[in-house]
Amino acid sequence: MLNEYLLFFLCILVPPTSTPIVAAVGDDVVLPCHLEPAVDASSMTVEWTRPDLSPRFVHVWRDGVELENKKHPSYVGRTSVSVNKLKLGDVSLKLSRVKLSDEGTYRCFVPTLNRESTVTLVVGEWRHDTDFTGQNLKVTVDLWNHIQNFFIYFYSFIPFPNSTNQNIAPV
């Protein structure tokens, strides 16, 4: 007779380079970029770009104003920086409503200081499957699906009260 319990297993395979920022389709995500030492960047030019796009600009902040007309069309209305955080040297970019096409390498550049940083965004989707079910047992898998073999698996094995492992069949 099985006791009632829940088991989770997590396995992450990360590429050998620096750890990317991971987001699911539809999420909001922050791409980090900080000036060290902290400098007020609110009146400086801050450029966020993706070298693989044309135009390459994802977000441009110049003289205290966001320049929407410089952006790649797919990012219009979806990017922002925090004015309060800019004053503290935090030039991180918030990207809203993430799309699969947002995946790539982003460059944060502050021309006045000639400082730059890059960050990689990995975008995937969750898929939920029921692997096996039986009279008193259900095994489910949540799969993080990514095109470049970056997977996160969550397995849950949930026996029902007073259950046995009899009558298990694939769905």
Q: Which two tokens stand for residue 43?
A: 């009146």
Q: Taking residues 133-141, report their average pLDDT.
A: 58
CATH number of the 1-124 domain? 2.60.40.10
How many Cβ atoms sit within 10 Å of the Cβ of residue 147?
Answer: 11
Closest CA to 30 of 19, 38, 42, 22: 22
Mean pLDDT within 125-151 = 55
**pLDDT for the residue 55:** 94
Q: CA distances (Å), 47 to each of 117, 146, 147, in order?
A: 11, 28, 28
Residues 160 and 12 sit within 8 Å (Cβ to Cβ): no
Instruction: Identify the pLDDT of residue 124.
Output: 81
Confidence of residue 14 (pLDDT cuts 50, 70, 90): very low
Is residue 64 a contact partner of residue 71, using CB atoms and an 8 Å limit? no
Which pLDDT score, from 0 to 100, does residue 8 have?
A: 36
Reference 89, options 49, 47, 122, 44; nearest CA is: 44
Task: Pull the structure tokens for residue 102.
Answer: 């947002």
CA distance 45 to 54: 20
